[in-house]
Copies of this chain bind each other. A is one copy, B any other.
Amino acid sequence: MAAPDVYRTIGDLRAALKPARMAGERIAMVPTMGALHDGHLSLVERARDEADRVVVSIFVNPTQFAPHEDFDAYPRNEDRDLEQLKALSVEAAFIPSVREMYPHGFATGVTVGGPSEGLESAFRPHFFDGVALVVTKLLLAAMPDVAIFGEKDYQQLCVVRRMVRDLNVPTEIIGAPTVRESDGLAMSSRNVYLSPDERKTATSLPATLREVIERLERGDDAHDVLSQARRTLEDVGFKVDYLELRDGETLGPVTEDTQSRRILVAVWLGRTRLIDNMAV
């Protein structure tokens, strides 16, 4: 197995991909912030299935962190990330510097309304502007035929789909299922922040979501089910940012036209923020 070729500039990445593109090869991209775990690797495997050539980007994007958030502390381990990509025979890793992505004089923003409204945005007001901007830049740098995003960040997936459609970015967006630990906790680079006790408590999050879904599918009143679940989460020690039932396509309120529903949650456990979501 060969290690992936590492490109640190947009120019180098483009030059490397051009012959493949001209030869009609299909290119898949997996945008990540590094600190790769099995969740990311499942996205890479999906990318493998979709394309001849896989590009994984590793970039901890400063524009999606607020000043008080964990940009500096966010886990980074490039050597370990590259080892894991090597094991999956990834051809190319795009690892730009902040300066390469946001050079002197940078002045452009991308904003997305619609699916970005509420949920995460109520607590991280500029988060999706940062995400939409960096995803636009990453997709236009690599020009993949397809890009894989995890359903773990479900609202992000909906925002990216909306942005790609609205701006005519010529990339198909595929959402891949959340990968969970054996006890149900959704894999996340931020799980490493949890103390052993918090890690045990954290399993109540997916367990509570499953219970909510069971009751909703039984036909119980949504408002009652959600308030009870919120109390349950608070009782075991979570601080709840939101726990909401939404239309699974638009992320708007559930209406008569809703085809699929999604339950989405964000909580704090000590100093760690966890998000999760499941289809109802």
* A162 adjacent to B107 (CB under 8 Å): yes
Interface residues on chain A, size class: 20 to 34
* B108 adjacent to A132 (CB under 8 Å): yes
Q: Which of B105, B111, B140 meets A170, CB within 8 Å?
A: B140
CA distance A24 to B24 in the complex (A): 12
Interface status of A112 (Cβ within 8 A of chain B): yes
Q: Which of B14, B107, B110, B114 meets A113, CB within 8 Å?
A: B107
A141 contact set on B, CB distance < 8 A: 168
Interface status of A147 (Cβ within 8 A of chain B): no
* B167 adjacent to A108 (CB under 8 Å): yes
Please state the number of chain copies in the assembly. 2
* A166 adjacent to B132 (CB under 8 Å): no
A132-165 vs B, CB cutoff 8 Å, 1 = contact: the mask equals 1000110011010000000000000000001100
Q: Which of B24, B107, B111, B167 meets A136, CB within 8 Å?
A: B167
A115-135 vs B, CB cutoff 8 Å, 1 = contact: the mask equals 110000000000000001000
CA distance A163 to B170 in the complex (A): 18
* A10 adjacent to B137 (CB under 8 Å): no
CA distance A137 to B169 in the complex (A): 8
Interface status of A73 (Cβ within 8 A of chain B): no
Given A107-B112, A111-B108, A132-B108, also A140-B168 (CB < 8 A):
yes
CA distance A51 to B110 in the complex (A): 30
Q: Which of A61-119 contact B (CB under 8 A)?
A: 105-116
CA distance A111 to B110 in the complex (A): 6
A114 contact set on B, CB distance < 8 A: 105, 107
* A140 adjacent to B166 (CB under 8 Å): no
Given A22-B22, A22-B24, also A108-B170 (CB < 8 A):
no
Give the 5 A-B CB pairs with smallest separation, nearest first: A107-B114, A108-B166, A107-B113, A140-B168, A109-B111
